[in-house]
Structure formats: C-alpha cells, structure tokens
Amino acid sequence: MTFSWPWALLSLLIIPLIFAIRAWARRRRRRAAVRVTSIALVRSALPGRTRWTRKIPAALFIAGLALLAVGAARPQASVPVPQTSATIVLALDTSGSMCSTDVDPNRITAARKAAAEFIESQRGGPRIGLVTFAGSAGLLVPPTDDTDSLIEALDGLGVARGTAIGQAVLTSIDAIAEVDPSVAATGANPSGGEGYAAAAIVVLTDGANTQGTDPQTAAKEAALRRVRVFTIGFGTRTPAPMVCESSQFDGGWGGGFGGRGGFDSGRNIRLIDEPALKQIAQTTGGSYHRAENADQLERALGSLPGTFTVIQQRVDTAAAFAAGGAVLIATALSLSLWWNRPRPPAR
C-alpha cells in the first residue's frame, strides 16, 4: 500500500494526545476526590455498566480516528484488473515436422484445434492476431476482436519447409506495433517505459530455429519494447512418422519430405530446442511451457491469458477508510449514549 499524501499520517498523533489528556484528567480527578460515607449510595447513582462496556466505545472511537487519519493520507492499493485492450499475437509453427503423428492425429491438427479453443475463450477480450512461420514468417490475421475470422483462418493452415522462430517474433512485434502506438516497429527505436506493454506474443513450436533471424536477437528486440514472449514446446521426445493430408501441404516442398529424411544438419527436426525457447521467455519476462499432447497444449494456452491480460492497477481506497472510520465513530457514540441513558428510578 502506498499513500498519495503521506504527510497526512501525522494526524495519527492525535491518538496519543487523547491518551495523554485522559491520563492528565484522571490524575486531576484523584486529587479532587471527596470522601463519602456510603459506597452503596454511590453505586446506585452510577450507570449499570461493566468495565468492558465502558471501554468498548472508547476503543471504537480511537479505531475510527485511526481509519480517518489513514484515509486522509489517500492510500492506494495494487489490485488485479482485467485489461481488455491488450493485444495477443499467436505465432504458430507450420514447419513440416508439425505433421508428426506422435500427437493424434498429427501435431498441426491438434495445434489448430487448441488455438481455435483458445481464441474462442477470449471472445470479447483482448485483440488477437495470427502469425504462421516455417521457412519464413507471415502475418495471417492482424490483431482483431473478430473471433470468427480468426478461427476461419486456422482452417487453412498448411505446412512448409524450415523453422524461422526468430523471424516469427519480429513479425509479431510489427503486427502489435500496427495497433498499439506504444510499441515501436522493428525498424524504429523503442521509446522505453516502465513495466510491460499491454501486448504479448505466444510462440507455439515443435522444433528449433533453422533459418532467418536468431531467436535470441529477436527476443532482445521484444524485450526493448517491453513485449513479453511466452513459448510453448509442443510434441513428445519420441520420433514418429510424419503424415499430413494433402490439404495441409503448402508450397515449396519440391517433392514432399524427401532430401531431409526428417533431419537437419544432424539434428532431428521433430525434437524441441527447449533451451532456446526458455531463453526467449527469460529474456522478455515471459515463461516457457511444455506440452506433449493435445490436452496439455490446451491447458498451457488456457493458463496464459491471466498472465498478460490481467494487470496490477493502483486504486484509491481513501473512501473505504473514511467510511470505515465514520461507522466506528458513529457506533462508539451510539453505544455511549445508549449505555449512559437515564434509567428509571428503582421501586
């Protein structure tokens, strides 16, 4: 909790001042005490209250003053607030290895289904854009709140050669810059600022970068723009046959998977480069998630929005403190008047 007017807390000094005045008054009463011959007569004249009922109104009154003093300092609390103006760019790997059948029926089909469910769950919330990447990266759908157009675009995904993770991050940054003036495009100098931008990139891939911009270079560009990148590694560690329907093949294969045999420079292209994905997330302030099946992928995507669409916002709570203080003081006065009300004489 922070205070807009911290100097107002000096008003709390009135509380020890009240105690000092009370102690001084009690000492004066002792000096002015008179002797009486009948204790019973004195007791009959005093209100019928116990020791605790005499202290309760005073305690409530002091607590009320304390709340009013804190309220006068304009306290502010940090509370989570949904941010519907956020922008999310979902970058989907459409490289040939996404035809791997270790996830039923294959990775590309499971990823498309999980992405559609994720987009549907955000209906009416942040803007979402789609980027696909294989040998190069391209903006499939600019950030929009048109959920139906996003889901329709997913139906046309096709695979191609290569995996350009770094280029996908840069393309996503430019897509965000088109709709968010606070985020600079990749060719411009970032303006800086505090905290994270109201935008995030989610990279879903099943492999390693094979061409284009180095992913760590792209991650640094995102970090300079305060854009977090969340990475998801999708697929098992067990190689499986790569089978895609004819409609899932994009151009540029030149005879299908031949010539690579499922490997690239001695590396199995169907295995995830987890260290690189973790480094991207760490550099930008995001997080890395691993999903080995469709259910895990859906859970990973579903857990992300609360991370980057809910922000901490400072809310002025002075009114609450003032109201609480007023209620306590009113209660103290009411109890005091009630317990000190005139009583009918005993018969």
Confidence of residue 40 (pLDDT cuts 50, 70, 90): low
Residue pair 2/75 in contact by the 8 Å Cβ criterion: yes
Give 120-158 pLDDT, tens digit per residue. Answer: 998 888 899 999 999 999 999 999 999 999 999 998 888
Mean pLDDT is highest, among 37-51, 55-69, 98-112, for 98-112
State residue 262's pLDDT score.
39
Longest dimension (CA), the chain: 119
Q: Assign residue 256 a region (left: φ > 0; alpha: ψ between -120 and 50; beta: otherwise).
A: left
At 167, the pLDDT band (50, 70, 90 cuts) reads very high
Neighbours of 241 (CB within 10 A): 10
* Model pLDDT for residues 111-128, shown as the tens digit of each residue: 999 999 999 998 888 899
pLDDT of residue 114: 95
The model's confidence at residue 274, banded by pLDDT at 50, 70 and 90, is very high
By percentage, how much of the chain surpasses pLDDT 70? 78
Q: Which two tokens stand for residue 273?
A: 């480069």
- Set out the domains of the chain in order of their start, with CATH numbers: 2-29+48-78+315-339 (no CATH), 84-308 (3.40.50.410)
* Rounded mean pLDDT, 27-51: 58
Are 138 and 171 within 8 A, CB to CB? Answer: yes
CB 178 within 8 A of CB 142: yes
The pTM for the full model equals: 0.66
The distance in angstroms from the start CA to the end CA of the chain is 58
Asked if 231 contacts 165 with a C-beta cutoff of 8 angstroms, the reply is: no
Whether residue 237 is predicted with pLDDT greater than 90 in this model: the reply is no
